[in-house]
A and B are shown apart, each in its own frame.
Chain A
Amino acid sequence: MIYSRKALWTAVLVIVLLALSLGATAQEATTIKWFMRWDQNRVENVAMPVAEAFTEATGINIEFENIGSGSDYYTKLQTTVAGGTPPDVFYPATHVANAYASKGALLTINEFVERDGIDLSVYDPTILANYQIDGELHCLPIDHAALVVYYNKEIFDAAGVAYPEDGWTWDDFLDTAQALTLDTDGDGVTDQFGVDTFRNYWPMVVWSNTDRGLFDDIRHPTEFYGMDQGVIDSVQFVADLILEHNVMPSDEQRADISDLFAAGKAGMQVVGHWRMQRYLGSGFDFDMAALPLGESGEAVNRADGSCFAISADTEHPEEAWELVKYLAGPGSTGVNMLLDLQVMTPALSEFKSDPRFLDPELLPGSNKEAFLAGAGNYFSMYDPIHPMYSAFDSLWKQELGEVWIGAATAEEAMQRIADEVAYILENIQDYE
């Protein structure tokens, strides 16, 4: 039984043996740690072959680790960085990259870029600027989270509604959504929604109406535009889709279904490239439309995405840079493989016009160009790119939560947010 002396000594022995067998592993060639947060599809079809090809081409070994969930990924990343054993190459989202860069945790790559003669103009300038602080580049971007309106052609056809056209406006969007919202069995409960919820993308509606972000300066915010009529109206528009027009489901109506569009219960979905694989597997006919135009008349889209970064503490900066270049550099193997998968909107301009992106075999005749709409008017969903963002993020989620359920108007909520933000901006040094 558990209390015999034998068991105790056996346990001690096992521990010692484990320590000996697992603790010490000899290192031969240079090995760099590459830490990712991809889904299994990308791990198997991109990460694994890329790692293999890279080792073959350079002789550098890769120790690959993947944690699929973002929050778990960042917890582990944070711990290893703070604990002094960061991975050599990792994959932060825009706002995380900036937070790490501002703490000096990312290697600046300007010297490498210059030395290897990489022409940075092949990256979309707004996207690249996300990762540049005071002229210093901290990582190479791979994608940006461009949004489009996916629409289910079968639902449109059944309702006799015309497909969205380029240059459509939010008014057209609302009309379309209304025509698609149906109570098929007449029990007073909506069975099919015009659009699945996209309320957390409300800043995108703001950009389209005001053609500017939420703050005067995305990196050094001094003024918040929350009380602008354009901002208030944009938030109210999103809330009214739920509350007044009932074309977008509320939390209760969604019943925690992860994607009503994929389930065939919503005619449209406002989301990015990353859901494509799921819709391809859903069995219905769909296409993409560019985001509707707002008051400003300018097409807009998201600039933020993810990049490949090198840890400032890496022991192998040269090798790590080689990997980053291999993954996200101009003409790189990594981007090439990703394009074939149909999982992202690339940050490299050359790939944006690549037929594998624009006219993929998986989606013959589709309007992939919708993902490119808004070029020149890119904004970051995480605005401002500043350490105070997390405070702002929880603030708006709380206050706008009241708006989405009709407990407050957009104006009331924005007033409260503006008051709090004014206080944050006055004490901004506390957040840096």
Chain B
Amino acid sequence: MAIKLAIATPKRKPRLFDKYLPHLSIAAIYAILLLGAVMVFFPFAWTISTSLKTEQQTLEYPPTWVPDPVQWENYPDALTARPFGRYYVNTTIITVLSVVGQVVSSAVVAYGFARFRFPGRGVLFLIVLSTLMIPFHILIIPRFILFKYLGWLDTFLPLIVPNFFGGAFSIFLLRQYFLTIPLDLDEAAKMDGASSFQIFLRIILPLARPALGAVAVFEFMSTWNDFFGPLIYLSSDRNYTISIGLAAFRNDYFTAWHLYMAAAAVALLVPLVVFFLAQKYFISGVALTGSGGSKG
């Protein structure tokens, strides 16, 4: 074994290049990262730039980057054009409750799939996963009719309550993560007299924080940005969300880009803060669900 290794890696002559190689590779990595950062930052910078232009400047061809004069008043103009404060509150209520609902219900279901043996478990899990494959569009009208009969139209309920019934994607993600937690821990707790629910609360959930965080962040982003749900279910101005409010600056013939971007920049603040705070979870979420998929 040792001999083989020695043969496989013959000592080569040190070259001048070797001294700089680590530096060069770091430089290359930074260059690639920088390029990526610029690409990601570009639309954001464009949003800010456009939000400070006059209406005429937004049309300029070729487009210019630096607004002249800087139109700070676009921000108050945009935010008072519609009751954005109200929209912000509405969006926050819907998002927070949706995240809570999604995380709590999915965790419970995932725990069941990960830790209990019961007849039909495989089939049930398959059914849960197969709901991911139902095209969203064919559900629009049946769901709308359902919520109409419940008297929930033009309330936040159709946007929040379904989240309390779990989501296939979150359940899958959490179940896979729970499976990686050693059963020994459960058994040790059981020896000490813990019930299944206690094991769930005291052992599984604290250990699954990265996965729970990832689910919460995904849910946050999708609910905060959701346009279609609020469009269909909400109809009074007082119930609108930010995404619907933003659409007021846009119609088929004309978009007031400067105001649209100003309002969008403000709407971006919360997701941006959430992203920075929850960055760790977000990235672990990508690692959990990404193409690598080595966990679970």
Interface residues of A (CB under 8 A from B): 2-3, 7-8, 11, 14-15, 18-19, 22-24, 33, 37-40, 63, 65-70, 72, 75-76, 79-80, 82-85, 255, 257-260, 262-263, 265, 274-275, 277-278, 281-283
| A263 with B61: CB separation less than 8 A | yes
Write the nearest CB–CB distance from B189 to chain A, whole angstroms: 15
Residue of A nearest to B208 (CB): A3
Can you add 15 more A-B contacts, CB < 8 Å, to A22-B157, A85-B153? A2-B212, A3-B104, A3-B107, A3-B201, A3-B212, A18-B157, A37-B251, A79-B141, A82-B141, A82-B144, A84-B148, A257-B59, A258-B254, A258-B255, A275-B253
Contacts of B59 in A (CB 8 A): 257-259, 262-263, 282
Contacts of B237 in A (CB 8 A): 65
User: Does chain A have a CB within 8 A of B205?
Assistant: yes
Q: How far is the CA of A85 from the CA of B232 in the complex (A)?
A: 12
Tally of B interface residues using CB under 8 Å: 52
User: Does chain A have a CB within 8 A of B103?
Assistant: yes
Contacts of A82 in B (CB 8 A): 141, 144
User: Does chain A have a CB within 8 A of B88?
Assistant: no
| B152 with A39: CB separation less than 8 A | no
User: Which of these binds chain A: B37-45, B123-131, B242-250?
Assistant: B242-250
User: Does chain A have a CB within 8 A of B122?
Assistant: no
User: Does chain A have a CB within 8 A of B287?
Assistant: no
Contacts of A15 in B (CB 8 A): 97, 157, 160-161, 164
Contacts of A283 in B (CB 8 A): 56
| A281 with B56: CB separation less than 8 A | yes
User: Does chain A have a CB within 8 A of B199?
Assistant: no
User: Does chain A have a CB within 8 A of B288?
Assistant: no
With contacts A2-B100, A2-B216 taken as known, whether A23 is within 8 angstroms of B248 at the C-beta atoms is no
Residue of A nearest to B213 (CB): A2
User: Does chain A have a CB within 8 A of B286?
Assistant: no
Choice from B152, B236, B256 contacting A23 with Cβ under 8 Å: B152
| B101 with A265: CB separation less than 8 A | no
Write the nearest CB–CB distance from A260 to chain B, whole angstroms: 7
| A75 with B232: CB separation less than 8 A | yes
Nearest 7 A/B pairs, CB to CB: A68-B251, A22-B155, A83-B144, A263-B59, A3-B205, A70-B252, A39-B251
User: Does chain A have a CB within 8 A of B188?
Assistant: no
| A76 with B231: CB separation less than 8 A | yes
Residue of A nearest to B235 (CB): A65
Choice from A8, A39, A65, A282 contacting B253 with Cβ under 8 Å: A39
